Amino acid sequence: SQQGEEDPQALSIQEGENATMNCSYKTSINNLQWYRQNSGRGLVHLILIRSNEREKHSGRLRVTLDTSKKSSSLLITASRAADTASYFCATDRGSYIPTFGRGTSLIVHP
Amino acid sequence: GAVVSQHPSRVICKSGTSVKIECRSLDFQATTMFWYRQFPKQSLMLMATSNEGSKATYEQGVEKDKFLINHASLTLSTLTVTSAHPEDSSFYICSARDKAGGLETQYFGPGTRLLVL
Protein backbone atom coordinates (compact mmCIF):
# COMPACT_ATOMS: atom_id res chain seq x y z
CA SER A 1 0.00 0.00 0.00
CA GLN A 2 1.15 3.52 -0.64
CA GLN A 3 2.57 5.43 2.25
CA GLY A 4 3.71 8.73 0.84
CA GLU A 5 1.60 11.06 -1.23
CA GLU A 6 3.21 13.83 -3.20
CA ASP A 7 1.68 17.20 -3.81
CA PRO A 8 1.19 18.68 -6.33
CA GLN A 9 0.73 15.88 -8.83
CA ALA A 10 2.02 18.15 -11.57
CA LEU A 11 4.10 21.31 -11.53
CA SER A 12 5.05 23.51 -14.47
CA ILE A 13 7.57 26.32 -14.03
CA GLN A 14 10.03 28.45 -15.96
CA GLU A 15 13.74 27.85 -15.93
CA GLY A 16 15.37 29.71 -13.07
CA GLU A 17 12.38 29.47 -10.77
CA ASN A 18 12.31 27.32 -7.66
CA ALA A 19 10.25 24.15 -7.53
CA THR A 20 8.75 22.86 -4.31
CA MET A 21 7.21 19.43 -3.92
CA ASN A 22 5.62 18.06 -0.81
CA CYS A 23 5.19 14.58 0.53
CA SER A 24 2.84 13.49 3.28
CA TYR A 25 2.80 10.12 4.94
CA LYS A 26 0.65 8.30 7.45
CA THR A 27 2.71 6.21 9.83
CA SER A 28 5.97 6.79 11.64
CA ILE A 29 9.12 6.30 9.61
CA ASN A 30 12.81 5.59 9.99
CA ASN A 31 13.79 7.66 7.02
CA LEU A 32 12.43 9.30 3.89
CA GLN A 33 14.09 9.37 0.52
CA TRP A 34 13.53 11.39 -2.63
CA TYR A 35 14.06 9.94 -6.08
CA ARG A 36 13.93 11.31 -9.59
CA GLN A 37 12.68 9.42 -12.62
CA ASN A 38 13.11 10.64 -16.13
CA SER A 39 10.37 9.57 -18.52
CA GLY A 40 10.46 5.83 -19.10
CA ARG A 41 13.66 5.36 -17.13
CA GLY A 42 14.78 3.98 -13.81
CA LEU A 43 15.02 5.87 -10.55
CA VAL A 44 17.89 8.03 -9.42
CA HIS A 45 18.38 8.46 -5.69
CA LEU A 46 18.55 12.12 -4.72
CA ILE A 47 18.68 12.38 -0.97
CA LEU A 48 17.90 10.50 2.23
CA ILE A 49 16.77 12.21 5.40
CA ARG A 50 16.46 10.33 8.66
CA SER A 51 13.66 10.75 11.15
CA ASN A 52 15.92 12.63 13.58
CA GLU A 53 16.97 15.14 10.94
CA ARG A 54 15.04 18.23 9.96
CA GLU A 55 16.84 19.51 6.90
CA LYS A 56 19.44 18.34 4.38
CA HIS A 57 21.06 19.95 1.41
CA SER A 58 22.65 18.54 -1.70
CA GLY A 59 23.66 20.99 -4.38
CA ARG A 60 20.50 22.76 -5.54
CA LEU A 61 18.31 20.40 -3.53
CA ARG A 62 16.95 21.11 -0.09
CA VAL A 63 14.86 18.58 1.78
CA THR A 64 12.99 19.19 4.98
CA LEU A 65 11.27 16.72 7.25
CA ASP A 66 8.61 17.50 9.83
CA THR A 67 7.80 14.31 11.70
CA SER A 68 5.13 16.02 13.79
CA LYS A 69 3.20 16.84 10.63
CA LYS A 70 4.33 13.66 8.87
CA SER A 71 5.47 15.63 5.87
CA SER A 72 8.56 16.39 3.83
CA SER A 73 9.36 18.89 1.13
CA LEU A 74 11.83 18.90 -1.72
CA LEU A 75 12.99 22.27 -2.99
CA ILE A 76 14.90 22.57 -6.24
CA THR A 77 16.42 25.99 -6.55
CA ALA A 78 17.22 27.76 -9.83
CA SER A 79 15.58 25.02 -11.83
CA ARG A 80 16.86 23.95 -15.21
CA ALA A 81 15.14 22.29 -18.16
CA ALA A 82 17.13 19.15 -17.33
CA ASP A 83 15.29 18.96 -14.00
CA THR A 84 12.15 17.97 -15.91
CA ALA A 85 11.22 14.58 -14.46
CA SER A 86 8.95 12.86 -11.99
CA TYR A 87 9.92 13.09 -8.35
CA PHE A 88 8.96 10.46 -5.80
CA CYS A 89 9.22 10.32 -2.08
CA ALA A 90 9.69 6.95 -0.46
CA THR A 91 9.32 6.13 3.19
CA ASP A 92 10.92 3.38 5.21
CA ARG A 93 8.89 2.18 8.15
CA GLY A 94 11.63 -0.08 9.47
CA SER A 95 11.86 -2.84 6.91
CA TYR A 96 14.51 -1.02 4.83
CA ILE A 97 12.17 -1.41 1.89
CA PRO A 98 10.98 1.96 0.58
CA THR A 99 7.32 2.53 -0.11
CA PHE A 100 6.75 5.02 -2.90
CA GLY A 101 4.20 7.75 -3.39
CA ARG A 102 2.53 8.59 -6.69
CA GLY A 103 5.06 11.24 -7.60
CA THR A 104 5.09 14.82 -8.77
CA SER A 105 5.58 15.46 -12.46
CA LEU A 106 7.80 18.52 -12.88
CA ILE A 107 8.14 20.35 -16.17
CA VAL A 108 10.70 23.12 -16.42
CA HIS A 109 10.25 25.29 -19.49
CA PRO A 110 13.43 26.72 -21.01
CA GLY B 1 29.16 4.24 -8.64
CA ALA B 2 26.94 1.22 -8.26
CA VAL B 3 25.25 0.20 -11.50
CA VAL B 4 22.29 -2.07 -12.02
CA SER B 5 21.37 -3.20 -15.50
CA GLN B 6 18.23 -4.76 -16.86
CA HIS B 7 17.75 -6.79 -19.98
CA PRO B 8 15.87 -6.42 -22.18
CA SER B 9 14.97 -2.76 -22.00
CA ARG B 10 11.84 -3.30 -24.08
CA VAL B 11 9.98 -6.42 -25.04
CA ILE B 12 6.84 -7.04 -27.05
CA CYS B 13 5.30 -10.48 -26.90
CA LYS B 14 2.15 -12.31 -27.80
CA SER B 15 -0.42 -13.19 -25.21
CA GLY B 16 0.28 -16.56 -23.64
CA THR B 17 4.03 -16.48 -23.98
CA SER B 18 6.52 -16.19 -21.13
CA VAL B 19 9.01 -13.37 -20.81
CA LYS B 20 12.19 -13.35 -18.76
CA ILE B 21 13.70 -10.13 -17.47
CA GLU B 22 17.21 -10.05 -16.06
CA CYS B 23 18.50 -7.74 -13.37
CA ARG B 24 22.25 -7.56 -12.81
CA SER B 25 24.40 -5.69 -10.36
CA LEU B 26 27.47 -4.84 -12.39
CA ASP B 27 30.03 -3.73 -9.84
CA PHE B 28 28.78 -4.95 -6.51
CA GLN B 29 27.29 -8.00 -4.88
CA ALA B 30 23.61 -7.88 -4.11
CA THR B 31 22.25 -10.24 -1.50
CA THR B 32 18.83 -8.70 -1.93
CA MET B 33 17.07 -7.51 -5.05
CA PHE B 34 13.62 -6.04 -5.39
CA TRP B 35 11.15 -6.15 -8.24
CA TYR B 36 8.67 -3.34 -8.84
CA ARG B 37 6.06 -2.67 -11.46
CA GLN B 38 4.90 0.74 -12.50
CA PHE B 39 1.83 1.67 -14.53
CA PRO B 40 1.82 4.94 -16.50
CA LYS B 41 1.88 7.99 -14.24
CA GLN B 42 1.63 5.75 -11.19
CA SER B 43 3.84 4.86 -8.30
CA LEU B 44 6.24 1.95 -8.10
CA MET B 45 4.54 -1.00 -6.50
CA LEU B 46 6.76 -3.58 -4.85
CA MET B 47 6.09 -7.04 -6.24
CA ALA B 48 8.63 -9.17 -4.43
CA THR B 49 11.87 -9.26 -2.53
CA SER B 50 14.48 -11.63 -3.86
CA ASN B 51 17.24 -13.01 -1.65
CA GLU B 52 20.20 -14.87 -3.08
CA GLY B 53 19.88 -18.59 -2.63
CA SER B 54 16.39 -18.56 -1.17
CA LYS B 55 12.80 -18.23 -2.27
CA ALA B 56 11.44 -14.81 -3.05
CA THR B 57 9.01 -13.09 -0.75
CA TYR B 58 5.97 -11.84 -2.62
CA GLU B 59 3.79 -8.91 -1.71
CA GLN B 60 0.13 -9.47 -1.06
CA GLY B 61 -1.82 -9.82 -4.26
CA VAL B 62 1.15 -10.80 -6.41
CA GLU B 63 0.85 -14.29 -7.85
CA LYS B 64 4.08 -16.18 -7.30
CA ASP B 65 3.24 -18.71 -10.01
CA LYS B 66 2.63 -15.89 -12.44
CA PHE B 67 5.77 -13.94 -11.64
CA LEU B 68 8.62 -16.37 -11.12
CA ILE B 69 11.69 -14.93 -9.46
CA ASN B 70 15.06 -16.57 -9.32
CA HIS B 71 18.08 -15.09 -7.56
CA ALA B 72 20.72 -17.62 -8.47
CA SER B 73 23.82 -15.55 -7.77
CA LEU B 74 24.92 -12.43 -5.94
CA THR B 75 24.76 -10.43 -9.15
CA LEU B 76 21.73 -11.76 -10.99
CA SER B 77 18.02 -11.98 -10.37
CA THR B 78 15.46 -12.88 -13.01
CA LEU B 79 11.75 -12.23 -13.23
CA THR B 80 9.74 -14.45 -15.54
CA VAL B 81 6.24 -13.36 -16.44
CA THR B 82 4.53 -16.62 -17.29
CA SER B 83 1.65 -16.87 -19.74
CA ALA B 84 1.66 -13.13 -20.17
CA HIS B 85 -1.59 -11.30 -20.88
CA PRO B 86 -2.23 -7.71 -21.99
CA GLU B 87 -2.93 -6.66 -18.39
CA ASP B 88 0.66 -7.62 -17.55
CA SER B 89 1.88 -4.84 -19.80
CA SER B 90 3.81 -2.51 -17.55
CA PHE B 91 7.18 -1.06 -16.68
CA TYR B 92 9.16 -3.47 -14.52
CA ILE B 93 12.00 -2.07 -12.43
CA CYS B 94 14.48 -3.94 -10.30
CA SER B 95 16.66 -2.61 -7.55
CA ALA B 96 19.56 -4.11 -5.67
CA ARG B 97 20.96 -3.67 -2.21
CA ASP B 98 24.75 -3.65 -1.97
CA LYS B 99 25.99 -6.43 0.30
CA ALA B 100 28.77 -4.17 1.49
CA GLY B 101 26.60 -1.09 1.86
CA GLY B 102 23.91 0.08 4.19
CA LEU B 103 20.49 -1.44 4.32
CA GLU B 104 18.91 1.88 3.45
CA THR B 105 20.42 2.21 0.00
CA GLN B 106 19.08 0.59 -3.13
CA TYR B 107 20.33 1.03 -6.66
CA PHE B 108 17.72 0.94 -9.37
CA GLY B 109 17.91 -0.52 -12.83
CA PRO B 110 16.72 1.40 -15.89
CA GLY B 111 13.55 -0.63 -16.17
CA THR B 112 12.02 -3.00 -18.73
CA ARG B 113 8.94 -2.02 -20.65
CA LEU B 114 6.75 -5.02 -21.39
CA LEU B 115 3.97 -4.88 -23.96
CA VAL B 116 1.78 -7.93 -24.33
CA LEU B 117 -0.34 -8.00 -27.46
> Would you say residue A2 has pLDDT above 70?
no
Cβ of residue A93 closer than 8 Å to a chain B Cβ = no
**pLDDT value at B105 more than 60:** yes
- Asked if A7 has any chain B CB less than 8 Å from its own CB, the reply is no
pLDDT, position A61: 97
Cis amide linkage into residue B86, ω under 30° from 0: no
Question: A99: which chain B residues are within 8 Å (Cβ-Cβ)?
Answer: 46
Q: What average pLDDT score do residues B7-14 get?
A: 96
Residues of A in contact with B93 (CB under 8 A): 42-43
User: A2-6, A82-86, B80-84, B91-95: which range is least confident on average?
Assistant: A2-6
Q: What is the dihedral sign for C-alpha B58, B64, B67, B70?
A: positive
pLDDT at A1: 45
User: B9 — contact with chain A (CB < 8 Å)?
Assistant: no
- Distance CA(A40)–CA(B56), nearest Å, equals 26
Average pLDDT, chain A: 91
